[in-house]
Amino acid sequence: MTREQILDEAKSIVCKDRNAQYGEPEDNFGIIAELWCTYLNAKPGFLIHAEDVANMMMLFKIGRLMSGGYKHDTLTDIIGYAACAEEIASNSKGEDNGTYKEA
């Protein structure tokens, strides 16, 4: 596939399929952030926010690449998560977007 085809596919997934299945990234990632915060409660004082979910999902996908080798949809997913991260960050209207926040 060419770069243009890969980006077109990622755009279709992120802007059409993803929203139809899961809703807006900031809403869905906010829910995931709450679940991860509950799970990670063993580390008191830290909260995960929607923008962290996008970043952590990219790391999750990179981990898959490192252990499982090349897989087209994994790379496309990384592009999609990066686009979601940018959208969430740019829509935060100057809020502090540090990875970890004190509780």
- Taking CB atoms within 8 Å and a gap of at least 24, the contacts of 44-47 are 44/103, 45/102, 45/103, 46/100, 46/101, 46/102, 46/103, 47/100, 47/101, 47/102, 47/103
Given this model, what pLDDT does residue 99 score?
45
Which helix (H) or strand (E) segment holds residue 86: the answer is helix 72-90
pLDDT in tens, 61-99: 998 888 877 888 889 999 999 999 998 999 886 555 444
Under 8 Å between Cβ of 52 and 28: no
pLDDT tens digit string along 4-27? Answer: 998 898 888 888 877 777 788 888
What was the pLDDT predicted at 94? 55
Domain boundaries in the chain? 3-90
The average pLDDT across 49-63 equals 90
Q: Can you give the pLDDT at residue 43? A: 67
Predicted model pTM: 0.65
